[in-house]
Structure 1
Amino acid sequence: MITELNLKNFKSIKSKKFQLRNLNVVIGMNGQGKSSFIQSLLLLRQSDIFEDQLLQLNLGNTGIINLGSAKDVLYQYAPEEESVSYSITFDNENLLEFSTTYNADSDILPIEYRNTNIDIALQSIVKEPLFTKRFQYLNAQRIEPSDENRASYTSVILNDDLGINGQYTAHYIDKFGDKPIAFDNLLHSNSFIKDEILEQDLIKSSLLEQINFWLGEISPKVSVKTKKITNSLVLLGYEFAQSGVGFTNEFAPQNVGFGISYSLHVITAILKARKGDLVIIENPESHIHPRGQAELGKLIALAAQNDVQIIIETHSDHIINGIRVAVKENNDLSDRVIMFYFEKLFNSDEQFSQITDINVDKNGSLDIYPKNFLSEWSNQLFKLM
């Protein structure tokens, strides 16, 4: 797990030491630097920092992000003698510390390590989730609902990955839907049933069953159906329970709305997590009703009770409040959650992201309420009065 990221001169982040926890919630208005923080980690993952010792800003279709040239990532007001630098610490106390060499038009930044015994450090750091298959990233541009979805042996079977756009979610469910999820605290309340004939309690704990239960918080009584028909194609559909009748006919995803399909990727990413995983999700609330957003916030928070690290970027008060309620109901979450509020600070000679750390106490209350944070609902209501 990443415990600290000290970032300097990266895009709008002039200098900031991020003290990371199990659940890290990145919030703020558009264009305030939230994505820059996430990109700083994705850049490390996609770059060859171990052998060629480079930050690679563009890898085309084979990369996670494309950031342009060095002048696009260097903080524009940085002193001439400075460039982008990182210091990242992991929970096993491994430290990775380096500066970079700046060439404005280049799309690579050579690394100059400042660690002592760097070869020994790299041997341990290469095993961290950020650099292994214990990593899942979902960006904000997830695939549109479709009954035909891509399959990938390499991504799903070998790398345990849904794809950065969720393009392999249907294949993942088809392959691993019958496997039990890793953490009991993520079992939905509907998971526990009593078999009257056998006179024993049963638990529905498979990935597919749990996806259906949690997806039911987005769209009641929905069930996911998958069928792999070729090595490169999986069919995806939804059906709905009808009391006393069974189920409706199967509907194509494009006929039941964006919210179900968009939330399917997020719910699957959280439920498939295992001990030691790192999960990064942008805008988990996209296309989802406010009540469903709150339940999704609860699920994300519950996952953080385990040895999983989650980073989410969100604009949703409902996601945030769902997390806060989960903390109040599970007090041990308090020390596992932190929020980072981004806002631009404008001076006469520079502008940069000012980042406020916000803690959540055992009652779900925040220790700091920055101006304009969680206030827009009341702002608009006041105008209606």
Structure 2
Amino acid sequence: MISKIELRNFKCFQLLKLPLAELTLLAGSNASGKSSLLQALVVLHQTIRENEWSTRLILNGGILNLGTVQDVINKIHGRNEFDLALTNEESTYRWTFTGDRPEMSMEVSCHPKRDDSPKEILNKLLPAGAGCEPTVCSTLESLTYITAERIGPRDFYPLEDRSTIQTVGPKGEHAVSCLYRLAEKPITQKMCIDTAPPTLMRQVEAWMQYFFPGCGIEVTPIARMNAVSLGIRTSAETDYHRPVNVGFGLTQVLPIIVAILSANENDLILIENPEVHLHPAGQALMGSFLAMAAGAGSQIILETHSDHVLNGIRRAVRKKVLTQSQVALHFFRPSTPELDQVVSPQLDASGNVDFWPEGFFDQFDKDMNHFAGWGE
């Protein structure tokens, strides 16, 4: 598990040192740095996946497009480089990325712990032949990233070879393909719903019913095409329908469920706005579901604007699905000289938040105070 990330002169951050937990929730105002933190991890993953011997950081690829060097360097304090460090239970690795501002990739130097000399020969961005941490390599390489802009309903979904496509894709575009290819994969008992067989296909369907009662799914190969169709029903009494004819939220939740249930232990999963197109009760269920997954062995970092997702996590802590020490809450706000850019409320064993910074999921209270005549 990655226990801390550090950034210097990356995008909006002059210096950030952020602890991570099994489940880390990023909240805050728009354009305050939440997505930038996720992008710092994704750009490492992208470089490893597209060129394992790369000595340059790939800013634009099949997963993420960050533009040029000037787009990723802090506009006020940076010049032509930024630093990134990751800490796990055993080691800290630091990278320095350097490049001319118009370039679309950056030179990489790695500084392993207790060795300040940069390494020129890199394998998966870590020193080659220097006993690099297999956990760091595997965590970055197998990372799953799901953006807020997930694909909507489709009449059919292309099938990809499992050797080239190993995650659901940033827009969830490979979720149905993964579900079909890995249909019989056994699921960890901790994430199994007892009423369904412990295989990926049946457990995905069972969890979809958790969010959408009566939901059923079937994935059917299309003859003479490398593609499958997805059928969804919303009741046991109805036939399967095309995704376009059912609620939009079903196809937004499906990639998250497939990603979580198909993940291996200690896999890192990044999710933007898991609450998209879910009603409030479904958003709370999503928080509980992600908390259960984190308690079962995955590491999850999620960005959310939903107090219902937060409350679902708090309820999971109260029910001891995971401990309060397994949850990290971070509230981001625009950088100013007067305020810390990130503050981190804490949970207790009952799921209570120790303090609520201004703007931290407090809009409901502000609105109710307004209607009660207590505020503007």
How far apart are residue 36 of structure 1 and its match? 0.5
How far apart are residue 94 of structure 1 and its match? 3.0
How far apart are residue 114 of structure 1 and its match? 2.9
Match for residue 285 of structure 2 among 289, 295, 298: 295
Change (3 A) 1:307 1:99: same
- Provide the residue aligned with 1:88 in structure 2: 86
Percent of counterpart pairs with the same letter?
29
Amino acid paired to 2:218: K
Amino acid paired to 1:368: F
Amino acid paired to 1:369: W
How far apart are residue 217 of structure 1 and its match? 3.2
How far apart are residue 47 of structure 1 and its match? 2.1
Match for residue 206 of structure 2 among 194, 210, 213: 213
Q: Which runs of 5+ in 1 are unaligned?
A: 193-202
Contact 2:139 2:266 in 1 (8 A): no
Counterpart mapping for 1:164-175 below 5 A: 164-175=170-181
* 2:338 is aligned with 1:377: no
- Provide the residue aligned with 2:354 in structure 1: 367
Aligned partner of residue 254 in structure 1, secondary structure: helix
Contact 1:13 1:353 in 2 (8 A): no
- Provide the residue aligned with 1:197 in structure 2: none
Counterpart Cα distance in 1 of 2:65 and 2:187: 34
Counterpart mapping for 1:1-385 below 5 A: 1-47=1-47, 51-59=53-61, 63-78=62-77, 80=79, 83-91=81-89, 93-115=90-112, 116=115, 118-121=127-130, 123-125=132-134, 128-132=137-141, 134-153=142-161, 156=162, 159-182=165-188, 184-188=189-193, 191-192=194-195, 204-229=197-222, 230-242=224-236, 247-330=237-320, 332-347=322-337, 354-385=341-372
| More divergent stretch after superposition (328-337 vs 6-15) | 328-337
Aligned partner of residue 211 in structure 2, secondary structure: coil
Change (3 A) 1:240 1:86: closer
How far apart are residue 259 of structure 1 and its match? 0.4
Change (3 A) 1:249 1:64: same
Per-residue CA shift, 1:195-224, capped at 9, x if unaligned? xxxxxxxx6322222222221233210111
Per-residue CA shift, 1:292-318, capped at 9, x if unaligned? 111111110011113321111111111
Contact 2:243 2:251 in 1 (8 A): yes
Counterpart Cα distance in 2 of 1:85 and 1:309: 23
In the alignment of these two chains, the number of paired residues is 357
Counterpart Cα distance in 2 of 1:300 and 1:332: 11
Counterpart Cα distance in 2 of 1:164 and 1:15: 27
Report the TM-score, using the length of structure 1 for normalisation: 0.86
Amino acid paired to 1:167: E
The 4+ residue runs of structure 1 with deviation greater than 4 A are: none
The structure carrying a bigger strand percent of its residues is: 1
Aligned partner of residue 139 in structure 2, secondary structure: helix
Counterpart Cα distance in 1 of 2:231 and 2:334: 43
Counterpart Cα distance in 1 of 2:58 and 2:335: 29
Change (3 A) 1:25 1:129: farther
Change (3 A) 1:26 1:167: same
Counterpart Cα distance in 1 of 2:105 and 2:131: 20
Amino acid paired to 1:255: N
Per-residue CA shift, 1:228-270, capped at 9, x if unaligned? 225521100112334xxxx311111111121011011111111
Amino acid paired to 2:302: I
| More divergent stretch after superposition (173-182 vs 312-321) | 173-182
Counterpart Cα distance in 2 of 1:79 and 1:69: 14
Contact 2:9 2:78 in 1 (8 A): no
| More divergent stretch after superposition (363-372 vs 41-50) | 41-50
Superposition CA RMSD, Å = 2.3
Counterpart Cα distance in 2 of 1:221 and 1:364: 31
Amino acid paired to 2:155: D
Report the TM-score, using the length of structure 2 for normalisation: 0.88
How far apart are residue 119 of structure 1 and its match? 3.8
Change (3 A) 1:384 1:223: same
How far apart are residue 381 of structure 1 and its match? 2.5
How far apart are residue 168 of structure 1 and its match? 1.7
Counterpart Cα distance in 2 of 1:122 and 1:46: 22
Amino acid paired to 2:149: Q
